[in-house]
A = this chain, B = another copy of it.
Amino acid sequence: MNNPITRVGILGAASYAAGELMKLLYNHPNVEITVLVSETFKDEEVLKHHAFLRDVCGREFDHIPEDLCLDGVMDRCDVIFMSKPHKKFANGYMKQLRSADKKVIDLSGDYRLKNADLYPEYYDFSHEDPELLQKFVYGLPEIRREEIADAQFVANPGCYPTSAVLGLAPALEVGLVKNEGIVIDSISGASGAGKSPRADLMVIDLGDNIRTYGTGTHQHTPEIEQELSSISGSTVQVLFSPHVGGFKTGLSSTLYCPLTRKGITKKEVVDLYRTRYDDEPFVRVYEDRSPEIRDVVGTNFCDIGFIVDSRTNTLVVISTIDNTIKGAGGQAVQNFNLMCGYPEYTALPYEGVIKKRLVTY
């Protein structure tokens, strides 16, 4: 039986992603947050970095020793969430955690890819201990639920890959779409880039703007291809093209997929996805219209809709998430629940609604 209380530590606790995670964990009935470490802001109040904690959490960030030894931290928690910038975790703390018996959920990209050779190209660093990559489970519950439940180490997926993989998995599983020629055109709100000051994320620059960036070179490209290839059973190649807009949260992906045969109807596609995601608490399949960012902001849902364009024999999938929830902190909590044996939706938005989904009024 699961433990009624799990003690949780967050490293990199001053980050924006950590804040979104904390918003959920502070409402989790089975969680006690015992450790909040920030190396950068160690002498500052937690509240200063996460305004929502006003009147809740008056303390300062926890200190760790200069050699970054985690012994003191590990004594005080059962599960550790890592919210460090890329490279800082893999070539730092992980050395200590590899032999510890703590569960770890990493929100960075450090352990999402199985192929260590891709890190220098896409993340600009080399893994000092690449074997550890195989110890991490890619934490997309709708694809790897049992593996996650059994895992000690989970790599929490990126926001774009979450929308793309969930949007494409059912079609690739049954060979409905080709495994090349796929275009993934995504747009995300500004929260994807965190809260550190940058001229190109200011209201004066990004407000009312659309910016295309990282087309074909974004680090989420190999993450998407790895998972889709695993699902498909053969190599899948995509052209991933992200954009950022002048809004805070939400992410919409439009997935253009050449169909493998002619005459596919939208009904067939809807049925396929509904069957595949029937028991999923956080996937909603649309038949009537395309999902919009407003449908998912503030939720852990991934909403999926379709257009079958018979003229070009293309399946167009629209897949939307809240990038800060299903694309980051919410998915981390979903993984945490699976790893700790709590109901998967505990402390996630619309928890009560999800419990009542089967009830007919």
Complex Cα–Cα for A292 and B213 (A): 10
Whether A27 and B208, one on each chain, are in contact in the complex, defined by CB atoms closer than 8 angstroms, is no
**Among A29, A190, A191, A245, residue most surrounded by chain B Cβ atoms (within 10 Å):** A245
Residues from chain B with a CB closer than 8 A to the CB of A252 are 210, 212, 243
Once the chains bind, are A210 and B187 in contact (CB under 8 Å)? yes
Give how many copies assemble into the complex. 4
Per the bound structure, the CA–CA distance linking A304 and B209 in Å amounts to: 16
Chain B residue, CB-CB nearest to A285: B55
In the complex, A233 has a CB within 8 A of chain B: no
Q: Indicate if the CB atoms of A351 and B27 lie closer than 8 Å.
A: yes
Q: What count of chain A residues pass the 8 Å CB interface test?
A: 90
Chain B residues within an 8 Å CB radius of A314: 183, 216, 239
The 4 closest A-B pairs by CB, nearest first: A27-B352, A216-B309, A190-B203, A197-B197
Give the interface of A toward B (CB within 8 A): 16, 26-29, 33-34, 36, 51-59, 180-181, 183, 185, 187, 189-191, 193-199, 201-213, 215-216, 237-239, 241, 243, 245-250, 252, 254, 256, 284, 286, 290, 292-295, 297-299, 303, 305, 307, 309, 311-312, 314, 316, 318, 320, 347, 350-353, 356-357, 360-361
